[in-house]
Chains A and B, each alone.
Chain A
Amino acid sequence: MIQLILFLFVGALLFSSIFFLSRRNPRTEGSSKVLVEARQALNSLQSGLLPPELVGRIFAREDFEYVANHTPKHVQEMFRKERKRIALAWVDQVRSEVVSLRRFHLGAARFYAKLKFKTEMTLAFDFAALLLTCRALRAFLYMRGPYAAPRMVQTTAAAAARLCDVSEKALAFLTPSPLSTFADRSAGTAQS
């Protein structure tokens, strides 16, 4: 009888372990998908969304002033709508890519980058603050248009760029080592 209870107990323990393991989100445990998503998010932020030239151009007041002074009312209205749409798309995409990076830091980063507890806490706070700022900025842009909060736009872009730098270091193991680059170059030289 005692043996039966013991077997049942061990069986229940195994079953519950399997149940909880199967319910765990595979994305949080260093899966390659999370890594690929994080790398893509980083590329998208660094080369697509955060370059100062693009951010400066989307929120350029000089365009607004030109349109306000040289075009009829219906064009001004169209300009405001178009710029607002782009500004909202920008902040939405920044937020979405930051969420991807945070997912990587929450799950996979600790397996690949040996971060100190203090660094992890600072990162967690930075991510939370940035996501909150994105929400607030979106509300501002939605209610008052793309020229309502230029400083907030700059702050958001700068904070996202800082997190990109940290993520870049954490994802450094994915980039080819200088040795392989050198080998590639040598191979190219040998061919020519």
Chain B
Amino acid sequence: MISGPRRLDVQQAADDLRHRTLSDMPRSLDRLIYLASMRDYNTGLYYHDGLASRFSQEVACEALADCHREAFRHLVGCSVEDLVCQMEAYMDSTRTSPSDFVTAWRKLEPYRVAVPVESDPLSAQFLFSSFKIALAILESRLVLHPAGSAA
């Protein structure tokens, strides 16, 4: 009876993912958004061709889910100051105008679909609330310095 991917394989795949891909993303916010983008919204399963070819689709899916949960936990533990810094850096990396970015994030709240499926509801609620606060801080900086960046 096959009960699912072996834990050891999943750990190896997660280490591989951290080493090859996630090491280029030092911020938890970038990791969270990247890993959420690897998930199929219809099935909740994660896909990564490179990882699946080295291990198996099932193992790759579990490894991606593990890393996603890890990024989520790390982000929940961040202070407001740290979250503001991460959002600012992420905003710069997208090369969109700060005001467009803040408006889109405030209206669409894309972070709501970026959390892992099994995340604890209160932790998710807390993170959404922190994002809302961080966006308000970034917006208030834009009002003070409308032409430049939000910094």
Do A44 and B76 form a contact, CB below 8 Å, given A78-B133, A89-B125, A184-B3? no
**B129:A85 contact, CB within 8 angstroms:** yes
**A75:B79 contact, CB within 8 angstroms:** no
- A67 contacts the other chain (Cβ, under 8 Å)? yes
**B132:A82 contact, CB within 8 angstroms:** yes
Closest to A87 in B: B126
- B37 contacts the other chain (Cβ, under 8 Å)? no
**A71:B137 contact, CB within 8 angstroms:** yes
Which single member of B3, B126, B137 contacts A57 (CB below 8 Å)? B126
**A58:B120 contact, CB within 8 angstroms:** no
Q: CA of A62 to CA of B77 in the docked complex: distance in angstroms?
A: 13
**Chain A positions within 8 Å of B132 at CB level:** 78, 82
**A90:B122 contact, CB within 8 angstroms:** yes
**Chain B positions within 8 Å of A93 at CB level:** 122
Q: CA of A53 to CA of B140 in the docked complex: distance in angstroms?
A: 29
**Chain B positions within 8 Å of A62 at CB level:** 79, 81
**A48:B123 contact, CB within 8 angstroms:** yes
**Chain A positions within 8 Å of B145 at CB level:** none
**Chain A positions within 8 Å of B120 at CB level:** 44, 47-49
- A177 contacts the other chain (Cβ, under 8 Å)? no
Do A192 and B79 form a contact, CB below 8 Å, given A47-B120, A78-B133, A85-B129? no
**B129:A82 contact, CB within 8 angstroms:** yes
- A178 contacts the other chain (Cβ, under 8 Å)? no
- B52 contacts the other chain (Cβ, under 8 Å)? no
Among A113-162, those with CB < 8 Å from B are none
**B122:A49 contact, CB within 8 angstroms:** yes
**B136:A75 contact, CB within 8 angstroms:** yes
**A191:B133 contact, CB within 8 angstroms:** no
- B121 contacts the other chain (Cβ, under 8 Å)? yes
Among B107-151, those with CB < 8 Å from A are 120-123, 125-126, 129, 132-133, 136-137, 140
* B-binding residues in A (CB < 8 A): 44, 47-49, 53-54, 57-58, 60, 62-63, 66-67, 70-72, 74-75, 78-79, 82-83, 85-86, 89-90, 93, 184, 187-188, 191-192
**20 pairs, CB–CB < 8 Å, chain A vs chain B:** A48-B120, A53-B76, A53-B77, A54-B77, A54-B126, A57-B76, A57-B77, A66-B80, A67-B80, A67-B137, A71-B136, A71-B137, A74-B140, A75-B136, A79-B80, A86-B122, A86-B125, A90-B122, A188-B6, A191-B2
